[in-house]
Structure 1
């Protein structure tokens, strides 16, 4: 970045981590291990079985090493090893692929949706790769699937306001999901694990979670919005909350990217009418985003969210293909899922060329797969009573 292009932010390249084949785990094996570990009731195991059959995840997704053991006794050591495998594996590929030297990286932003430790993940990376002593680092944790967007927004703002990053420095963004073991503090961990084994709404997120040289992308309009209540429980309100969050973001971005004045005018008239005449219950005008967007890559979340999003925005099956295939193959990788979707698009030859580091390279010809229609995911249960201290 230089002074002439200070308002433009480019992505040199990206990579996605692919766990070793030994960590592939079918849904049947997940249930077998869950029963073997002895932490779940039969009622909960039945719920897990029904959920996994309908959640859109295939039989080639990955599971943490610690969960694959005969006995499930997670520890901080296991969590650290899982994070190191994903982060170091990705960074080794990225640095090798781009040829960027670590002493030319001036900003480091790391986000992980739940895992928080001391020393921080930033410190772990800086020490491993011997980054320069004056590197500006930020460690973002506890923001769930939205952490990636926040990290991108932070990186853009840093590149715009920190004038000292006007040399050949680059910004490194590391995005990772949550390790299988969650540690906040000892008392909360005991409480959370009891909820995990007894409350269905705590099971859903646990099951789903699984510079301008040759730049491949340019960042234009990062937008984010916070809605909902703090926590990791999911209940029947998830669909409404997801759409309620996405709709205002599309409203904001729509006026910036809609290609024709006609679309913008129709959009504006509809927006004003709904604000001034709420009693008429005017339906929101859904612009034809395909005129402005080549690839629509929503966070994979889960099958119900993708289904409702597709219906609300009137998106075709082809448009939703990268998201559904990413959910099927890799599950919900939290804040990094969009990058797996982008890698899918590249592997299909629909955008920039892909290389050997693409996690889809060896099997892209097998996709898309036909997803058998199934019943809705069972999220029609009451919200958890998280204030119940008797657990």
Structure 2
């Protein structure tokens, strides 16, 4: 900010005050947007080989044309005329190679838009309301209530998270009908917003992938969406269950592979979790943690492999790296659905969860790093 120099004079209590403001030079260092510096550096390093080769090729061509006279070029043309078969063979091989490359090269996958469902305000569950409802159910001991209160305070959740309609009742009513109602509300809400924002007709969707770990009814959640929006009969629909918090990335990876096979189509990926039938009403602490962490929500992604969508796409999918630690027993049981001693079903989170997740993340980043770093060895 620049301040204009000048003088201001005034009298306060008979005392004359003189204020001088000096010229402040702009801070050019802060005015530089480091994002563009980083972007320029990335482009420079990524295209370093091209920047060296292009001038070298130009200099070589100039030298060739300067040292070659017209007679040499005429003799070369006559030689090519008498070797027409060789030229045709080379041309055919070149055309075949270019065609093979165009057919087999990976198709670009674009993210056109995304949408998230936001529930109604009456479904909000601030901390005080959450604790009052937990106390009124009569299922939790005092130590369990205190444990949940501490988890809420340290979880990082805000006061504007949501729980499903059935959990606002006293006592709660976790029925199959209520669970279906929750699933329909969140999925259809996110998809309505997605279709409205992109002006894509549901009939244009060729691939549908839904992931929800703990609620997998029959008909499936993907079938519920097909029925609601009357999607076309040859749609490729998939319903992923029991795959935990990584199901969203797994679904995107599956959509990417399918878009490599099926040309000029759209893929929708819906990610959600159902709370109604998976609330834990026991007193085992490791199974109480999900009550404090998981809330109502749903997201929907619209992916495309159409070249015409490149201009309006928000992102292009470049790499998907998956790391599976299921072969390790501790990793396999770190998030485990089971029954406690009283026969109440819930999801248990192991105390080793953070260490196991950190190890998986380290392996994943080690694999992903060489793919995205500007200098590749």
Structure 2 length normalisation: TM-score?
0.62
- The residue number in structure 1 matching 2:273 is 177
Q: Counting strand residues as a fraction of each chain, which structure ranks higher? A: 2
SS, match of residue 81 in structure 1: helix
Q: What residue ranges of structure 2 are gaps of 5+ in the alignment?
A: 1-101, 296-303, 326-330, 337-346
Give the match for residue 257 of structure 1: 372
Q: What secondary structure, in the 3-state scheme, does the structure 2 residue paired with 1:62 have?
A: coil
Q: Which stretch shows the higher mean deviation, 4-13 or 250-259?
A: 4-13
Structure 2 residue 255 is the aligned partner of structure 1 residue 159: no
For the residues of structure 1 that align with 2:277 and 2:103, how far apart are their CA atoms? 44
In the alignment, the residues of structure 1 paired with residue 103 and residue 285 of structure 2 have an alpha-carbon distance, to the nearest angstrom, of: 53
Specify whether residues 3 and 106 from structure 1 end up closer, same or farther in structure 2 by C-alpha distance, changes over 3 A only.
farther
CA distance in 1, matches of 2:358, 2:211: 24
Q: Where do residues 92-131 of structure 1 align in structure 2 (5 Å cutoff)?
A: 92-131=192-231
CA distance in 2: counterparts of 1:82 and 1:3, whole angstroms: 44
> Residues of 2 paired with 1:205 and 1:254: CA distance?
32
1:42 Cα shift?
Answer: 1.0
Q: Compute the displacement of 1:204 (Å).
A: 1.1
Q: Tell me the CA shift for residue 247 of structure 1.
A: 0.2
Count matched residues: 246
Does structure 1 residue 50 correspond to structure 2 residue 141?
no
**Aligned twin of 1:221:** 319
**1:110 is paired with a residue of what secondary structure?**
strand
Number of the residue aligned with 1:327: none
The CA distance in 2 between the partners of 1:3 and 1:129, in whole Å, is 33
Find the aligned partners of 1:3 and 1:66 in 2 and give their Cα distance.
Answer: 52
User: Of the two, which has the highest radius of gyration?
Assistant: 2
Question: Are positions 1:246 and 2:361 aligned together?
Answer: yes
Cα contact 2:275–2:294 (8 A) shared by 1: no
Which whole-Å CA distance do the structure 2 matches of 1:226 and 1:73 have between them? 36
- Tell me the distance in 2 between the aligned counterparts of 1:181 and 1:226: 28
> How far apart in 2 are the matches of 1:153 and 1:49?
37
Structure 1: stretches of 5+ with no match in the other structure: 183-191, 265-391
Q: Separation in 2 of the partners of 1:93 and 1:4? A: 35
RMSD: 1.8
Q: 1:83 aligns with which of 167, 183, 191?
A: 183
Matched, 1:235 2:338: no
Tell me by how many angstroms 1:205 deviates.
2.0
Instruction: Show the 5 A alignment for 1:241-320.
Output: 241-260=356-375
Cα offsets for 1:269-294 (capped at 9, x unmatched):
xxxxxxxxxxxxxxxxxxxxxxxxxx
Deviations 1:75-133 (A, max 9, x none): 01111111111000011111111111122111111111211100001110001100001
The answer (yes or no) to whether the contact 2:175–2:276 under 8 Å persists in 1 is no
CA distance in 2: counterparts of 1:48 and 1:31, whole angstroms:
8
Offset at residue 7 of structure 1 (A): 2.6
Higher relative contact order (CA 8 A, sep 6+): 1
Q: Give yes or no for contact 1:83–1:179 (8 Å, CA) kept in 2.
A: no
TM-score scaled by length of structure 1: 0.60
